[in-house]
A and B are shown apart, each in its own frame.
Chain A
Amino acid sequence: MADGPSDNKQSGGERGNKPALQLHVPEPHYRPGDKVDFSHVEVPEAGRQPRPDEACAARETEALCYDLVRVLGEDYRAHGPWDPKLDADTLRTMLRNFALTRAFDERMFRGQRQGKTSFYMKCTGEEATSIASSMALASDDMVFPSYRQQGILIARGYPLVEMINQIYSNRGDKLKGRQLPIMYSSREHSFFSISGNLATQTPQAVGWAMASAIKGDSRIAATWVGEGSTAEGDFHSACTFATVYNAPVILNVINNQWAISSFSGFAGAERTTFAARALGYGLAGLRVDGNDPLACYAAQQWAANRARANAGPTLVEYFTYRAEGHSTSDDPSGYRSAQEREEWPLGDPVMRLKKHLMALGEWDEQRDEAMDAECADQVKKATKEAEKNGILGHGLHHPFRTMFEDVFEELPWHLKEQSEQAIRERETKFPEGLPKQ
């Protein structure tokens, strides 16, 4: 047994002529202080990617899994077969949804800094991957988002006040103050309750889509997951189930390069693309410029049409960049070069859409400024309105007994007892009644 596998020597050891094995630990291109050069990122010319028939065999999308579907060129005009040919009003609506989401993110981030809530997450730079893509779905298609798709709710017209009530966990919060800020839910807007456990929503979306198919419904499901989270088993289960049952579902992977401080290499990005994951499962795959609103829309529309025609599920990778920190608890200057954001070769989705509309003669600087001011004002008003219901930690929350509701459909004896205890504790703490605000 001297040199058998049980001879568990930790270092080096005499292995004769056998080469010593080496572990590869991925390392991002740039760390804080590094000068950034994104020339290794291939940015193909817009309009050059073929658009296969939506009902094509999954493997016909192979080339597109390594390419990058792009529509908006350097001239800010739409090019090629993926141009979704949207009318100016739709484009303006999209731009407004972008601007409103950005204004909302700005204000909520500040609100967290002001102590009105515990936590916030921005989607800056990724607006197109949620807003443009969800605009290509029907309003009653079910979405299973992760935590960076607030843009979908905004695009679907969910009241900002409700979003802020949730973020403040105040007495107006429809989720009764139980969820971390930004973990929205709205059945009315076909928006599934967000989980804090990464990737769990992906097999759930597939199950919803399967159920829709079992019932002969016409609604499809779409889910969003970060590239880092695709390493979770749930994602792979979702891909397997989606392909096995040909579920009418779209699996959107937002490759924003970073999973907190871990770069995409830790999810396998050094070896292949995320879109290419589709191929091994027999899913259709598309790799898309995630900062190109028209490409995002077109890809989602392609996948939705495919699902609706029972032609199969699609995995869409959006190649984008997380311009801001991971959340209010994160400081990206600790792990990546600050220059990355400026050098990101695919630009900013809001700017690109704005310039596109201007190139069409359908927009100008004055209107843009007015729109931004309106959005900021709209968010400000909603914030004021929501603050009437309280902010986190200031006592205006739901009554104590609600903590015990909805664990089960009916309250069992042990929760009844515990609920009575909570109320007793409150009376002991505040014998003269609740403190005044």
Chain B
Amino acid sequence: MIEAINDALSIKLDQDPDVIVMGEDVGYFGGVFRATAGLQEKYGKTRVFDTPISECGIIGVAVGMGAYGLRPVPEIQFADYIYPGLDQLISEAARLRYRSAAEYIAPLTVRSPFGGGIFGGQTHSQSPEAIFAHVSGLKTVIPSTPYDAKGLLIAAIEDNDPVIFFEPKRIYNGPFSGYYDKPVEPWKKHEDSVVPEGHYSIPLGKARKVIEGEELTVLAYGTMVHVARAVCEKKGVDADIVDLRTIVPLDIEAIEASVRKTGRCLIVHEATRTSGFGAELSALVTERCFYHLEAPVERVTGFDTPYPHSLEWAYFPGPVRIGEAIDKILSE
């Protein structure tokens, strides 16, 4: 996945002289996850550069660059560190088009590795997507495969609205099943690993059908798509798994179609439970598909605690939690 991201950045830097890549350690070194490796060498120091450790500055400067006419792609090293830049995202980037009646826009794409499962402790593991989904004017994208990561990132960079692009770092190098006793197979061996060369994009707001099934709809994104799928396969559940890909804009048609077909809905995300994006999904499904539902909508999420270091796997919404929820829904 990391190569797919690098490839997408390289293609856009190549195609569009207004694209700028910047962030802490992204220049010479190529980023702590190597997502920007080689880009500075290829495109020069004024197109790809390191920044001061100031998320407020990174986002604020990117808003100004966007207003000038550039398409900045700032990297926030870990999603946990996006908070110092929140005001610039929420009050400025998200509302610049609105408040200026489209005189000025902020077409930035903020890339940031997010989620846990890599022993990152409580400051390198968070999933803050619900904060952004709550803000009018921001789009939030979360890929779950290398193919999607490339196509969605290219679409995000080409989009004229500010986009938060969260990269599930647990699956940078291979899909994660959630069965942590099983080694992660690298993307190379995986069916979703095929990343075509050159430019392609995936429209924001279109979900992906991971597997077709009749018994149960699973709504998930990022790492949890793979975990949910592994659990369903192991349990032999005939699930309809919908990878949302973007939570704003949301593919409501795909969600409705699937839930109407199966009559049961499980929502899985890694972020904390209370006021998480699962609550929004649950409400939407209930409002729109109530008469098709044969069981209450269930949510499987992280706990409402900070992400613990040593007890990471106890926190993680893994196969046991998902399995129990599936049993509950199917037993209704």
Which residues of A line the B interface, CB within 8 A? 142, 144, 174-176, 178-179, 183, 185-187, 192-193, 195, 197, 200, 202-215, 221, 233-234, 236-238, 240-241, 244, 406-409, 412-414
Q: Nearest 8 CB-CB pairs, A to B?
A: A207-B64, A203-B60, A237-B57, A207-B61, A211-B68, A204-B64, A193-B100, A208-B64
Residues from chain A with Cβ under 8 Å of B64 in the complex: 144, 203-211, 221
Residue pairs across A and B with Cβ atoms less than 8 A apart, 8 shown, are A176-B101, A187-B103, A203-B88, A209-B64, A214-B46, A241-B52, A407-B136, A408-B249
Cβ contact within 8 Å between B91 and A183: no
Cβ contact within 8 Å between B67 and A406: no
Chain A proximity mask over B82-119: 1 for CB below 8 Å, otherwise 0 = 00100110011000111111111100000000000000
A241 and B105 alpha carbons, distance in the complex (Å)? 21
Cβ contact within 8 Å between B92 and A200: yes
Of B65, B99, B159, B249, which one neighbours A179 at CB under 8 angstroms?
B99
Least distance between A60 CB and chain B CB atoms (Å)? 24
Chain A proximity mask over B204-248: 1 for CB below 8 Å, otherwise 0 = 010000000000000000000000000000000000000000001
Given A407-B136, A412-B205, CB of A210 within 8 Å of CB of B101: no
A185 and B72 alpha carbons, distance in the complex (Å)? 22
Least distance between B82 CB and chain A CB atoms (Å)? 14
Least distance between A181 CB and chain B CB atoms (Å)? 13
Residues from chain A with Cβ under 8 Å of B92 in the complex: 195, 197, 200, 204
The verdict on B252 contacting chain A, using a C-beta distance below 8 Å, is yes
- 10 more A-B contacts (CB under 8 A) besides A200-B91, A234-B88, A240-B57? A144-B64, A197-B91, A202-B60, A204-B64, A207-B65, A208-B65, A210-B65, A211-B64, A214-B46, A237-B61
Residues from chain B with Cβ under 8 Å of A208 in the complex: 64-65, 67-68
Residues from chain B with Cβ under 8 Å of A241 in the complex: 51-52, 54, 57, 61
Given A185-B100, A234-B88, A241-B54, CB of A204 within 8 Å of CB of B63: yes
Of B68, B84, B139, which one neighbours A207 at CB under 8 angstroms?
B68
A187 and B68 alpha carbons, distance in the complex (Å)? 10
Residues from chain A with Cβ under 8 Å of B1 in the complex: none
A207 and B51 alpha carbons, distance in the complex (Å)? 12
> Of residues 126 to 173 in B, which have CB atoms within 8 Å of A's CB atoms?
136-137, 139, 159-161
The verdict on B322 contacting chain A, using a C-beta distance below 8 Å, is no
Residues from chain A with Cβ under 8 Å of B61 in the complex: 203-204, 206-207, 210, 237, 241
Of B84, B103, B139, B249, which one neighbours A233 at CB under 8 angstroms?
B84
Least distance between A166 CB and chain B CB atoms (Å)? 10
Given A238-B60, A406-B98, CB of A195 within 8 Å of CB of B91: yes
A206 and B84 alpha carbons, distance in the complex (Å)? 18
Cβ contact within 8 Å between B63 and A207: yes
Residues from chain B with Cβ under 8 Å of A237 in the complex: 52, 54, 56-57, 60-61
A358 and B98 alpha carbons, distance in the complex (Å)? 47
A195 and B87 alpha carbons, distance in the complex (Å)? 11
A144 and B54 alpha carbons, distance in the complex (Å)? 20
A195 and B98 alpha carbons, distance in the complex (Å)? 12
A66 and B48 alpha carbons, distance in the complex (Å)? 38
A214 and B160 alpha carbons, distance in the complex (Å)? 20
Cβ contact within 8 Å between B100 and A211: no
Cβ contact within 8 Å between A233 and B56: yes
A210 and B64 alpha carbons, distance in the complex (Å)? 9
Least distance between A208 CB and chain B CB atoms (Å)? 4
Chain A proximity mask over B56-86: 1 for CB below 8 Å, otherwise 0 = 1101111111111110100000000000100
Chain A proximity mask over B260-278: 1 for CB below 8 Å, otherwise 0 = 0000000000000000000
The verdict on B2 contacting chain A, using a C-beta distance below 8 Å, is no
A265 and B56 alpha carbons, distance in the complex (Å)? 25
The verdict on B20 contacting chain A, using a C-beta distance below 8 Å, is yes
A202 and B64 alpha carbons, distance in the complex (Å)? 9
Least distance between A125 CB and chain B CB atoms (Å)? 28
Of B60, B98, B252, which one neighbours A204 at CB under 8 angstroms?
B60
By beta carbon, the residue of chain B nearest A176 is B101
Given A192-B104, A207-B60, A240-B54, CB of A185 within 8 Å of CB of B99: yes
